[in-house]
Amino acid sequence: MCLQAIKNQDFERAGKLAARAAVEQPDSWAAWMNLGLAKRYGDGARGVLPAVDAFEKAVALNPSLPDAHTWLASALSCTPRQAAARTAAFQVDFDNKDGLEMETQTVLG
């Protein structure tokens, strides 16, 4: 439901759904990814730091997911943490076919 709200650009609803999912499932990298996306897309500049926090949690929970690192790097690049943005960007492992497949099914599915 959260991803559908993001796709429909209903970021207020997506943010509420993602925040609830992150509270109910704090060990779910997908919940944190969705929260990061909702904050980054929906809250503009105000959403950058909350998005960074959410993407960092997603990466910590599942460091093999390329999109988590990419989104983290993107959000970090909007902060003074430029070195951290570069580090996150270089953590992307595009040879990890299992991580890409799992991520596509869970986040985009």
Q: What is the pTM of this model?
A: 0.76
Cβ atoms of residues 92 and 69 within 8 Å: yes
pLDDT tens-place values along the chain, 109 residues long: 677 777 788 888 888 888 999 999 999 999 999 999 998 888 878 888 999 999 999 999 988 888 888 888 888 787 777 666 667 666 666 565 554 444 434 443 3
CATH number of 15's domain:
1.25.40.10
Helix 11-24, helix 29-42: angle, nearest 10:
150
Residue 67's domain comprises 2-108
HEC secondary structure over 43-70: CHHHHHHHHHHHHHHHHHHCCCCHHHHH
For position 63, what pLDDT does the model report?
A: 86
Per the structure, the count of domains in the chain is: 1
For position 74, what pLDDT does the model report?
A: 83
